[in-house]
Structure 1
């Protein structure tokens, strides 16, 4: 399953605009929250930018969501801080 991950504000400054990730196998994340955890294990930069303690907001297909929202092929998941300004 391929998921498009997008980053905004301070998360984007640390990780760039986004990436496409391939999630296959029995240990592949099934929810947005599991995806966040999976991403934090990909690199030290991901761990720092996506740490749960930062209180990041999440969106699935451009709609704010909770961590337990299920993932599907082709979804777009976005991570951003609680206040992005603008």
Structure 2
């Protein structure tokens, strides 16, 4: 019987994605707060769009990172 081992390269790739997701989780709401605090600013709409995109990217990176970590632990090669 073969023992299942964790693929360390995939594991580190998933952890790296989760680190980028954590950075995005802090950066997105911060930018959104800055955009919503001053609505008369000329950069209101572009900053709000960028903040929403960063928040969406954070959610995507979380799911992708968890999927990669799970596949490194449970998939056979």
TM class by smaller structure: under 0.3
Structure of larger gyration radius: 2
* Higher strand residue share: 1
* Higher RCO by CA contacts (8 Å cutoff, separation 6 or greater): 2
TM-score by structure 2 length?
A: 0.27
TM-score by structure 1 length?
A: 0.25
